[in-house]
A and B are shown apart, each in its own frame.
Chain A
Amino acid sequence: MNPRKDLITIGALSDEDIRTILESTSAMKDIFTKSVKKVPALKGKSVLTLFYEPSTRTRSSFEVAAHRLSADVTTFTVSTSSVVKGESVHDTIDTLMSMKMDYIIVRHKNSGIPAVIARHCKAAVINAGDGSHAHPSQAFLDAFTIKEKYGEVAGKRVVIIGDILHSRVARSTSTILRRLGAEVAYMGPGPLVPPQQHTGIARFTNWDQIFEWKPDVIYLLRVQNERIDTPFFPAADYHQAFGVTEERLKRIDDLNMSIMHPGPVNRGVEICDAAMEYRNCLINNQVENGIAARMSILYHLTPQTQCHD
C-alpha cells in the first residue's frame, strides 16, 4: 500500500489499500493468541482519541488497538455542551498540533470535521464516525468478519436493515462490500431508505422480499433512540415490521444466514433475545475483529510527524 496519511472515507482508498488493510487484519489477530498480546510496531508513538460525540465501543476498541501496537494513548474528552462550533474545532487543531500527536482518532456529529482536521495536521487522522457521512473502520471490521466467516466477500449477499438515510455505518459498509464484489440491498421504513436510482442499491420494504432474495448476511442497524416515536419510528411497530423476531429467526436459521450488528443492540427493537444466542450471530466476532482491523489501519497509515531530515 502506498503511503497514506489519513483514513476519512472508504471511497478515498484504492483497491490495493483495501486489500492490504484486510490482509493485515488477519495477521493482527494472530497477536491475540500470544501470551504477550502486544507488538512493538508503534512504540513511542502517541495516539489521541478526540470524541465530540459519545462512544464507548469505538473509542475503547481504538484504544485497545493502539495499546496492542505499543503506542501511548491519550483520551481527549470534549463535552458536548461547551464546543461544537466550527471555530472551536480550529482552536482544537492548534492545541493538537502543539501536542505533537502522531495519530488522531476523531468522532464528530458533523460530517466533514475529520477531513478538516486531517488537512491541517501532520498527524495521521482516522475518522471514527462523522455525522451521517462515514465510519470507515466499522466498514473494515464488517468486511473482515464476512471474509473470515465465508472465505471471501465477493459474491456474498448482504441486506442492511434500518435507518439507512442517516447511517454512516450503512454508507461505509455498503461501499466497502460492493468494492469487494458483494451484492448489497437495503430494507427499512420507506422514508429512511434512499431510492435505488440514487444509490444503485436494491431497496426492499419487507422481510418477504429478503427471504426471497436469500442473503448470506442480515446486517441490522441500531435504532437510534432519538428517532424513536417520531412518525418514522413508531417504537412498538418497529420490531414487528423490521426487526428479527423469533419467528423470522427460525427462517434465518433454516436458510443458514448470519446476523451482524454494529452495536450496541436494542433488544426487542431491532433484534429479539434469542437471536443474540443464534449460532450464526457474528456480533461478538465483530467486536473482536474491530480491534484487529483498527490495529491494521493504525499500522498502515503514515503520519508526517516522522521526518528524519
Chain B
Amino acid sequence: MPTISSEEIERALDAWGAQLVQKMSARDDEQWAIVGIVSHGDVLARRLVQKIEKAGHKALYGAIDITLYRDDLDLRGKRPALRSSHLPFSTDDLTLVLVDDVLSTGRTARAALEVLWEYGRPARVEFHCLTDRGGRQLPIHPDYVAFDLSASQTDKVQVRLNEIDGAEDITY
C-alpha cells in the first residue's frame, strides 16, 4: 500500500498554512476561525492555527463532533461513541474554515455544515481537507486539498497523526 510519510505531511501542512495566511491577508477585514471535525480534523485545525499565529495573524480554533448529525444513525445497530465538541464562540459573521482528514462521500461535510449553523450564522465557509479519495455522493467541493488521492481508486485512506495515534502517516 502506498504511504505518505510524516515529513511529507508536515511539508503539506506548511504549504496549507501559508495558503491560508495568504487568503487571510487578502481578506483582513474578515474574522477567521479554523474548525476541525473530530477526531483528526481538530488536530489538523490546531496545527494550522499555530502556523497562522506564527505568521502574525489571528484565527479562532474550534472542534466539532458531527456524530449526532449523521444521516445513517438508524442504519447502524450500534450507536457510535460521542466525542466532545469545543466551539466556545458564536459563528455569527465569521469566515469559517472547516477542516477534515479524509473527504469522500461528502456526508460528513454536510453534517458539519448543519452543526456550524446551530452555533450562529457564519458569513462564509470554506472546506479544506488533508486527503480527497473521491466517491462523492453530495454536491460538496473542497476549497483546498493537500493530497488528492481521487485518481487512486482507493476505498480506504487511513490517516494517523501523532497527537492521537502516536505515529504519523497516510496509507491508501
Inter-chain CA distance A40–B117, complex, in Å, is: 13
- Against A, the Cβ 8 Å flags (1 = close, 0 = not) of B65-94 are 101110001110111011111111010000
- B65 adjacent to A27 (CB under 8 Å): yes
Which residues from 113 to 128 on chain B have a C-beta closer than 8 Å to any C-beta of chain A?
A: 114, 117-120
If A40-B69, A299-B68 touch, whether A24 touches B118 (CB-CB below 8 Å) is no
- A300 adjacent to B85 (CB under 8 Å): no
Q: How far is the CB of B19 from chain A (nearest CB, A)?
A: 30
Indicate whether A39 reaches chain B with its CB closer than 8 angstroms: yes
Inter-chain CA distance A24–B118, complex, in Å, is: 19
Instruction: Chain A residues near B68: list those with CB within 8 A.
Output: 31, 39-41, 69, 299
Which residues from 198 to 250 on chain A have a C-beta closer than 8 Å to any C-beta of chain B?
A: none
Query: Closest chain B residue to A306 by CB distance?
Result: B74
Indicate whether A85 reaches chain B with its CB closer than 8 angstroms: no
Which residue from A3, A23, A28, A296 sits with its C-beta under 8 Å from B77? A3
Instruction: Chain B residues near A308: list those with CB within 8 A.
Output: 74-75
How many residues of B are counted as interface, with CB atoms below 8 angstroms from the partner's CB atoms?
24
Inter-chain CA distance A40–B114, complex, in Å, is: 10
User: With A23-B81, A35-B90 given, can you name 10 additional A-B contacts, CB distance below 8 Å?
Assistant: A3-B77, A3-B78, A20-B81, A27-B65, A30-B84, A33-B88, A34-B87, A35-B120, A296-B82, A299-B82
Indicate whether A1 reaches chain B with its CB closer than 8 angstroms: yes
- A27 adjacent to B78 (CB under 8 Å): no
Which residue from B78, B85, B117, B118 sits with its C-beta under 8 Å from A2? B78
Q: How far is the CB of B122 from chain A (nearest CB, A)?
A: 12
- B120 adjacent to A28 (CB under 8 Å): no
Indicate whether A36 reaches chain B with its CB closer than 8 angstroms: yes
Query: Closest chain B residue to A27 by CB distance?
Result: B82
Instruction: Chain B residues near A26: list those with CB within 8 A.
Output: 84
Instruction: Chain B residues near A38: list those with CB within 8 A.
Output: 118
Indicate whether A302 reaches chain B with its CB closer than 8 angstroms: yes
- A23 adjacent to B82 (CB under 8 Å): yes
